[in-house]
Structure 1
Amino acid sequence: MAEKRKRTYNFHSEWEEEFFFTSVKENCVCLICGATVATAKRHNVERHFATHNSYQANYPEGSALRAEKARELKAALGKQQSFFTKPAKNSIKATEASFRAAHFLIKKKKAFSDGEVFKEAMMIIANTVLKDEKNGANLISTLSDVQLGASTMTRRVSAMSTNLAEQLDRDLARCRWFSIQCDESVDNSSTAQLSVFIRMVFADLSTKEELLTLLPLKTTTRGVDIYNAVKEFFVQKKVPLEKLVAVTTDGAPAMIGRHAGFIAHCKGDPDFPKLLHYHCIIHQQALCAKVIGFEHVMTPVVKIINSIRSKAKQHRIFKVLLQEMSAEYGDLLLHTEIRWLSRGRVLLRFLSLLGEIKEFMQSKGEDVSLLEGTEWTLDLAFLTDITGKLNHLNCELQGKDNASASEALDKNAEKYCQVINRLGQEFKDRFCDLDQLEPCVSFISNPFMNKDITDIAEQLSATFNLDAGQVEIEIVTLQNDLHLKAHQAAPNFWSLVDTEKYSGVSTAAMKVASLFGSTYLCESAFSDMNFIKNKHRTRLTDAHLQDSLRVAVSSYTPDYNTLVNSMQCQSSH
């Protein structure tokens, strides 16, 4: 029966010359009139062909004339199909090009309306370069089909953001553990925005960091407001909270308040697992730097810089002086307290231009006795050096001497040692909460180190909610595994470890890999946010801001084929 259906309902190639029919997308189509028969049966095709009496008479069956006519009609049908198919293909290409161009522009934090400017510049180049080429007119026409209007750019960015969020959801579902970092800032329309980044670790110990969401806080920014916004998002997006390992925040009371802070609310919620919490180490490092003091140096430096740069005429004369003296730098830097690296950079520039500054001030009849004092100059050099070291440490956490009087240096050595000791004690006090994690990280970095296995097992189990007895057995077994010992120096060592045989220590390794040390990604995203929603774009909605920021900072690449196939493609109007 199946063989009969196959023989009866399938198109047969001999029908092309016999009845002037062909097959198009599994349909029997008449080459003469373009009609389609309901079922590919011989008698249906024959009955339809009988309506074209002239073809039976003018082109006798089996003749070369009939075969030639069938090929002619089939070629004409092919041209007709390509006539309608080519514009469709061009529309698909134009739509994909508009997605790629929109992605490029948003990565550069450009406004939606810049798409029109981009296209206009592209058309000017095309008309200049391609107008005399052989297919120049066709190429220019194809470029003009790309849709880059402001409203189209808005839709493209929204579609790409949704696609990137879907990719993140898939990774979130397959990751083993994750941690988040949260920070809050205010955009240019005075709306508080809570940035949440996620760091996921997968079974092969690979990690990925992505923007999870940007949540607007419309009224207050208390700890309960932040908690409610985050919890609502987690519930709405069905985020697997059981995989959460740690939360990293800044030191604001709304975040780490003992009773009403965001972390306190999370720890009091039974839906949240037992989690670790860390205060951003970059913020703590910046706070440690404040204990140095030396206001007797910083205050005059800032005052002198402001006096030089506050008046346009005086500022111009100073820059000309630097140019004439072939100074190392062409200008002084202004100091801002809220910038992590500002003080170190300002002091380095001031110390490098100290001679030029003194000469400029003397030419204005100003007192320079302070700048000529040996002790003050030594203090300036010391403060420059120590803040430079702190800046170097800060940059590493992100990713990313004119004194000649030796007697005075010996005299002040004790004072400088006291400052360094005070700074060291501040670091020790502020980073004491990381002491619990240090043995765990040391073991993950070198699982074959010679330390008490029982203590390591207890610390791992206490930190990451594991069975201490099981972990101890696994450590003993692992350290006696000759195959693993031979690969202990491999950068991907933990990906070689059997996660079933060593489930406890593998879990600890994954959780350590998922930890955030700082809120640097949030701080960086806020810089991008202020660039996107600048003073000229304060009417940008929260939804469009989140879409733009996600596209700008995401490491994912939009799936252009999926995006293009999900819509009806049209050329630019």
Structure 2
Amino acid sequence: MDAPVKKRKIDGEGRAFNKIWTTKYFFAEVRGKAVCLVCGDQIAVFKDYNLNRHYTTKHADRYKNLTDDARARTSEALLAKLQTQQDCVGNANTPGDAIAKASLMISYTIVKHRKSLSDGEFVKECLMAIAEIMFPEKRDAFERLSLSRPAVTRSIEDIAGNVELQLQHKVDSFDFFSLALSESCDVGDTAQFLVFVRGITKDFKITEELVGVWSTTGTTTGRDLFTKVGSSLDRLGLRWDRLNVMCKSLLGVNHVIEVVNRVVDVIRTRGSNHKQFVALLEEFETVHEDIPIVDLTNMRWLGLGDGLKRFWDLKVKIKEFCKKKGENIPELSDEDWMADLAFAVDITALMNGIQAQLKRKDVFVHDIHSLAKAFVRELQFLSNQLESSILTHVPSLKEVTPSADHLCRYSSMLTALHDEFVRRLEDFKNLEDEIQMILSPFTCNVYTAPTDVQLELIDLQCDMMLTQHFHSASLLDFYSALKEENFPNMRRHAQKMLILFGSTYTCEQTFSLMKSNRFMYGTSLTDDQLSAILRISTTDIQPDFDAIVQAQQGLDVSH
């Protein structure tokens, strides 16, 4: 009888893990097995065919369009995510881990409160003084805190990476998302480009986070920006088919703003003049605030309106001061120019009303739609009133008793402004019926509603319990409570509407933060470091400090 053939022992063949499989198939070696970085499945045999088959059947559709650079970044991010999940919890409470975690949390707090990265050293000095008196036995532990500027910089980069990993996990549950894109220049006149994402899940949980920030130099084309946005979406795993899209010197008072800026320059940017002007205000016990040191020509409407109003309130003292200093500002004595200034003050104050309501987070597209419609009607109303010489709602203009020619010209300017806003609201026309349906589902016309929701609307409007719930709950709570099996299309329409950005608040706040950081650090702050600071400053995601500490320790994972 022949001797039995021994089974080949795969483990003894000496197969080695090939490092290129990490970027090619998104696998890593963990304790002698190939682990999928995407789904966590394990493959015992290190064989290209086995890994390729797993990737092709389960993940290729999602990642097949990645560029080489995007694939490399994605594999690095997935690998870091795996590292945070390894079973090293038993070491989490060692003194070294506690010190590392404390250093991370202090660095995080410094950024969240918009303090300088160098403040970590000051914080450590304070902690050392406390330890010296209250916890002398812990002095060595406090001494080991890593809070130098380089250490704080490394910490915020690690924290930002952890936040991005958590965001990658969140986007997997997005049913739909929208993007807010904006461009501005920093203090060095370098163009900066921001992208934020707002996504919604099946249970109507909304996430709004920074996608990326880039500096653009030289000539940057739309294709260049599109490529950068696409790369960021790929890195986060956001699919284009879930993107919900809405495509998005009016007054002619530049001659007013230029003069105001000239006067501000005389008073505020010349030290002795400014002190003397403040003294003049105190002498007459003026209660008005000092005029701002800003370039009004580059201000947005909210700041412009405030600046012009302060200038108007101080116009008598400003005229007196300029005359005393020998500054020739003939416009301050020109009745026509003063009337134009008064008109600009009143209209920018009107604009402030709508801008102030949009200068907050969590503004939805239906909010801006309602505000914009009201503003357009107000412009038409004021134009008609000025044409009839009625000055009830323009108090500054009323002070200067403008001529009929002035009022006719101002009326025409408001009409032109009205027409421009109507043109800019064209994008809303295709959305108006849908906005109305989502805002008032119980009173909207079923016959004019989209065909896929007509039957659902009838069921909805006949349900008394849902009617009561609608009047007592927020839109998010109401639509999340609708049963998927009964109202799938109504829920989908609501999701698409509720994720549209209703204002540029998020981008503008982030640009303001970006400029303050650029001013604070100058060229010493790299783009990656600035991106990390902005991500931490704007995120609502709580960093997993324990996971970051574990990742810093370095796990037994090769790639």
Residue 227 (str. 1) matches residue 212 (str. 2) = no
- Post-superposition CA distance 1:173-209 (Å, at most 9, x none): 0121111112234556776543211001122223121
What is the 5 A alignment of 1:170-569? 170-187=169-186, 192-217=191-216, 220-246=219-245, 277-279=246-248, 290-295=249-254, 297-333=256-292, 334-340=294-300, 341-364=302-325, 370-371=331-332, 376-399=337-360, 401=395, 408=402, 412-449=406-443, 451-457=444-450, 468=451, 470-489=452-471, 490-491=473-474, 492-534=477-519, 536-568=521-553
Q: How many correspondences in the alignment?
A: 427
Deviation at 1:540, TM superposition (A): 2.7
- Post-superposition CA distance 1:213-263 (Å, at most 9, x none): 2245466410010112222333344322221112xxxxxxxxxxxxxxxxx
Distance in structure 1 (CA, Å) of the matches to 2:185 and 2:99: 38
Deviation at 1:312, TM superposition (A): 3.0
Distance in structure 1 (CA, Å) of the matches to 2:153 and 2:323: 58
Distance in structure 1 (CA, Å) of the matches to 2:549 and 2:117: 19
Distance in structure 1 (CA, Å) of the matches to 2:191 and 2:120: 28
Decide whether the 8 Å contact of 1:178 with 1:198 is kept in 2: yes
Deviation at 1:407, TM superposition (A): 6.1
Q: What residue identity is the alignment partner of 2:519?
A: N
Distance in structure 1 (CA, Å) of the matches to 2:167 and 2:332: 57
Q: What residue identity is the alignment partner of 2:454?
A: E
Q: What value does the CA root-mean-square deviation take over the aligned residues? A: 3.0
Decide whether the 8 Å contact of 2:171 with 2:236 is kept in 1: no
- Post-superposition CA distance 1:255-279 (Å, at most 9, x none): xxxxxxxxxxxxxxxxxxxxxx332
Distance in structure 2 (CA, Å) of the matches to 1:413 and 1:350: 22
Deviation at 1:374, TM superposition (A): 5.4
SS in 2 for 1:394: helix
Distance in structure 1 (CA, Å) of the matches to 2:111 and 2:504: 23
Deviation at 1:394, TM superposition (A): 1.6
What is the 5 A alignment of 1:64-75? none
Bigger CA drift: 236-245 or 92-101? 236-245
1:412/1:185 CA distance change after superposition, 3 Å: closer
Bigger CA drift: 227-236 or 358-367? 358-367
Deviation at 1:445, TM superposition (A): 1.0
Deviation at 1:408, TM superposition (A): 4.4
Decide whether the 8 Å contact of 1:439 with 1:456 is kept in 2: yes
Deviation at 1:369, TM superposition (A): 7.2
SS in 1 for 2:267: helix
Q: What residue identity is the alignment partner of 2:271?
A: A
SS in 1 for 2:297: coil
Q: Which residue of 2 aligns with 1:461?
A: none
Unmatched 5+ residue regions in structure 2? 1-89, 362-394, 555-559
Residue 95 (str. 1) matches residue 94 (str. 2) = no
Q: Which residue of 1 aligns with 2:25?
A: none
Q: Which residue of 1 aligns with 2:12?
A: none
Q: Which residue of 2 aligns with 1:56?
A: none
SS in 1 for 2:470: coil
Distance in structure 2 (CA, Å) of the matches to 1:555 and 1:111: 21
SS in 1 for 2:197: strand
- Post-superposition CA distance 1:359-407 (Å, at most 9, x none): 2234346678754565544433222111011122122222174666686
Decide whether the 8 Å contact of 2:111 with 2:537 is kept in 1: yes
SS in 2 for 1:359: helix
Decide whether the 8 Å contact of 1:112 with 1:153 is kept in 2: yes
What is the 5 A alignment of 1:113-152? 113-127=118-132, 131=133, 133=134, 136-152=135-151
Q: Which residue of 2 aligns with 1:68?
A: none
Q: What residue identity is the alignment partner of 2:194?
A: S
Decide whether the 8 Å contact of 2:289 with 2:310 is kept in 1: no
Decide whether the 8 Å contact of 1:197 with 1:210 is kept in 2: yes
1:218/1:317 CA distance change after superposition, 3 Å: closer
Distance in structure 1 (CA, Å) of the matches to 2:344 and 2:287: 20
1:343/1:407 CA distance change after superposition, 3 Å: closer
Distance in structure 2 (CA, Å) of the matches to 1:507 and 1:87: 43
SS in 2 for 1:533: helix
Q: Which residue of 2 aligns with 1:46?
A: none
Q: Which has the larger radius of gyration?
A: 1
Distance in structure 1 (CA, Å) of the matches to 2:187 and 2:257: 31
TM-score (norm 1): 0.68
Distance in structure 2 (CA, Å) of the matches to 1:485 and 1:88: 53
Distance in structure 2 (CA, Å) of the matches to 1:182 and 1:293: 27
Q: What residue identity is the alignment partner of 2:458?
A: V
1:213/1:300 CA distance change after superposition, 3 Å: closer
SS in 1 for 2:94: helix
Q: Report sequence identity in percent.
A: 29
Q: What residue identity is the alignment partner of 1:321?
A: L
